[in-house]
Amino acid sequence: MKKLTTALASLAVLGLFCGGASAADQKFTFNLSHQMAPDHTLNQVALKFSDLVKERTGGNVTIKVFPAGALGAEKDNAAGLKSGMLDMGIVAIEQYPSFVPESAVLVLPYLYTDYDHLSRVLDSDVAKDIQKMILDKTGIRVLTIMPMAFRQMFTVDKEIKTAADLKGVKMRVPESPIYVAAFKQFGAVPTPLAWGEVYAALQTGVAKGVENTPEAVLTASLQEVTKYMNMSNHLEGPTTISMSDAAFKKLPPEYQAALLAAAAEAEKFDLQLTVARDQEAREKLKTKLIVVQPDIASFKSAIRYDQIDLVSSDKGKELIARLLAIH
């Protein structure tokens, strides 16, 4: 959090808000943070979103993109959006259960069957309800929810053929309670770490595996410190373009509409790029790692939604029931 505070303090002078001018005369600058490398899909999406906003506002709204955790870890970015210290971020849904436990329903293992099903869920009233819950409880406005690639398990020295093979394995997971809960059910020892710490953790034995998308692993060079790519497809963790509502409310209505439209267009761009790059990354990793095809049924049978405390409330159960009705 200190990194975020220091970086944003030095950037504060870059923002300009002219309160008395007409919309056409007002200029706004916002900082957008995310965790991934400059060549990752999410950075391309962030830059696309920035370009769309500039185009739709006649150059009057500027989005400055800071990749690779330059403004702090993802957990700190979520806290920064909540406090208003950070303007915008590409923040994964999995960060929000710390504030809104029921939002974890969008990150349940084996919830999504394919990208078409995922898109239907993210465009559903359930997703809209969760966006409103996040706004009401945190002051963070989720402009759009975007697909990510299906996640796999990458291990240092052990093949994962069934869920039983995960027993006792220290698996790096995001700093998110839903991932911790899921990997406990799989039998692993979940080890929450910021993304920027993962390479060293695998290299030194702090973690013996990591779960993420093939593209994330490739762009972070984690194939250098792992041996097996276990194709578990265990989870799809959607991400968001999120904004401090205090920052959003600085904008006149026409610019607010422009940001929402740009975010919706960025979501479509994200899906196309995600699918294409996931396949490219898988092919590249096949030449570097040993590919394992696990028994998926063993993983599915280990998961019990009704035993995940985050979603055990009446509201959580209602949301799960509505999600499971979407085919």
Q: What is the mean pLDDT of residues 18-29?
A: 68
- 99-144: pLDDT as tens digits: 999 999 999 999 999 999 999 999 999 999 999 999 999 999 999 9
State yes or no: pLDDT of 97 exceeds 90.
yes
Pairing of strands 189-192, 170-173: parallel
Cα separation of 74 and 82, whole Å? 12
Q: Is a pLDDT exceeding 80 seen at residue 55?
A: yes
Residues 164-201 pLDDT 10s: 999 999 999 999 999 999 999 999 999 999 999 999 99
Q: Mean pLDDT, the chain, as a whole number? A: 94
pLDDT score of 14 more than 60? no
- Give the C-alpha separation, 64 to 106, whole Å: 28
pLDDT in tens, 260-315: 999 999 999 999 999 999 999 999 999 999 999 999 999 999 999 999 999 999 99
Query: In this structure, are residues 222 and 289 in contact, taking their beta carbons and an 8 Å threshold?
Result: no
Domains, the chain, in order of start with CATH, read 2-147+238-278 (3.40.190.170), 150-236+281-324 (3.40.190.170)
Q: CA-CA distance, 242 to 143, in Å (whole number)?
A: 5
E-strand ranges in 55-159 read 61-66, 88-92, 140-146, 150-155
Query: What does the pLDDT read at residue 25?
Result: 74
